[in-house]
Amino acid sequence: MYGFSPPELASLCCAFLWAFSGMILRSQSHQVTPAAMNVIRCGVAGALFWCIVPFHPAPLSDLALVPWRDWALLVASFTIGIAVGDTLYMISIKEIGISRTMALTGVFPLTTIAWEALLLGNPLQTTLLLGSLLVVGGVYFLSLKDQKNAPQDSAHLRRGILVALFAAVLWGLSATLLKPATANMDIVHANATRMPLIALIVYLARVRPSSQETLRGVSLKSFAVVGFSGALGMGLSAYLFIYAIGEIGVAKVVTLSSISPLFGMAMAVVFLKEKVTWQVMVGVGLCLAGVWTVI
């Protein structure tokens, strides 16, 4: 279809699902705290995968054959990328909206390449410098406040930008660790294992000790909406993402899925009525250009 292979289509579907999930999270960002959102999303996604396990052809006993090194890499990958990275992503959505957040976190293909060079010894491309400069330009435009339409608080803007960029760094590291981690592990089993563990880690580390990060008081409607975003963004998209990485590699998958900010910006305008200024549009364009230049 349109010249795309199944793994490439899976990568594009990931981009759409991430944007759609981000829009859902934005709509609930004032009702549910970021860490609580992560617990709900990962818990629902984990339950979804465990419902699939009995019907999956690969036996669950295969998990006993997975080397401890792969388990360690998997735990490190999901702790860094989802437990921490996704929580930062949701904080940024609450602070600066979907359009800015998805553009900033969408530069994670660059951080993936940098981590692959550092950890796996892959050669750095000469285009990385140009791509990085374009991203810096994009960050500059995304950091500009709109003076005509209800100026945004500078502290919130700076905080949202910083946590989004840090999330991109963590996602790049997580993606780099994910392929070797799942080399000897079935996709469904990998997700059925990691999603409940992420929910448990975030709950014990962030939700339970905090008086602000709590699941109490979350309405049934908000729980259902956030849970639905988890089924899509952490369930279906996670399956597609790991499948695509196993078939065509990290670099190509993150390149195709990097168009997610375009989906996100369109959804934010149509459904959430976010005001997308020319500065935001230029910033999104420069960030995408930076990623595509390198890849």
pLDDT tens-place values along the chain, 295 residues long: 457 889 989 998 999 999 999 899 989 988 999 999 999 999 999 999 999 999 988 888 888 889 999 999 999 998 999 989 999 999 999 999 888 999 899 888 888 888 988 998 888 777 877 888 888 888 888 888 765 544 457 888 899 999 999 999 999 999 899 878 888 888 788 889 989 999 999 999 989 887 777 788 899 999 999 999 999 988 899 889 878 888 887 767 877 887 888 888 888 888 888 888 888 899 889 988 888 887 6
Q: What's phi and psi for 134, nearest 5 deg?
A: -65, -40
- What would the two tokens of residue 286 be? 């420069």
Q: What's phi and psi for 15, nearest 5 deg?
A: -60, -45
Tokens 């975030």 -> residue: 202
* Residue at 188: amino acid letter: V
Domain boundaries along the sequence of the chain: 6-294
CA distances to 72, 238, 243 from 180, in Å: 11, 16, 13
The CA-based angle 161-163-165, given to 5 degrees, is 70
- What would the two tokens of residue 293 be? 């230049």
